[in-house]
Amino acid sequence: MKELIEKISERLLNNEKNQTFPILLLSAKEDRGQMNNPENILITKFPAALINIKKIGYESTANFVQKGDATIVIRLFDKNENSFIWDVMENTNKRLHGRHFLSSEFYSYGVLNRTNVRKIKREDAYTELELHYSIQFMDTSCMRMLHMEQSPDPKIRVKTMDFKKTTEEEEEEEKNRREKKHHSWRSTTSE
């Protein structure tokens, strides 16, 4: 999930020429409570975004694959004398909502969907907005793959379960191997 926060941060700070929506944020990082203590504010560049994964729910499927649903909270901050926090929120949402920019070795992500926005009343010199997003994903990091290992006796085959990274190519090879064995077995039994 750390990677998810990093990807969102990169997306928010990316200022490529082909971006339709200009970046208004000067800082975007993981929320570690930087803005909770006014005497110890560690952010020096405003407007800023702090990103946190609030909740993750999992549902198990076959082969140790899990479907997940995460709630992500992005807290936007600006100094009170600046009056464009709503512009920052709008451009932040345009860069994230419904966009497909997340990919990972073991996670298949859907798109971020904004579910809620709320303004937080603060006693210090900052304005805060919270943006809540949901995202669905598939976690294949613990997928097990059944494979055959050769035993010391060549006539005996041992089935084992092993944690192994799987890819579509490996799955396709395994499927072809099974079909080939099935066809060779059928041809020897029909003679």
Secondary structure tally for the chain: helices H, strands E: 3, 8
Cβ neighbours for 133, distance < 8 A, ≥ 6 positions apart: 71, 72, 73, 74, 96, 97, 112, 113, 114, 115
Q: What is the pLDDT of residue 154?
A: 58
Average pLDDT estimate for 178-187: 60
- pLDDT tops 70 at residue 149: no
Domain architecture of the chain: domains with CATH: 2-139 (3.30.2000.30), 144-189 (no CATH)
**What are the pLDDT digits (tens) for 113-141?**
999 999 998 888 888 999 999 999 988 88
Vertex 40 angle, CA 48 and 119, to 5°:
45
Asked if 8 contacts 23 with a C-beta cutoff of 8 angstroms, the reply is no
pLDDT at res. 36: 83
Which band of pLDDT confidence, cut at 50, 70 and 90, is reported for residue 20? low
At 60-93, the pLDDT tens digits run 888 788 999 999 999 999 887 766 888 889 989 9
What pTM does this model have?
0.69
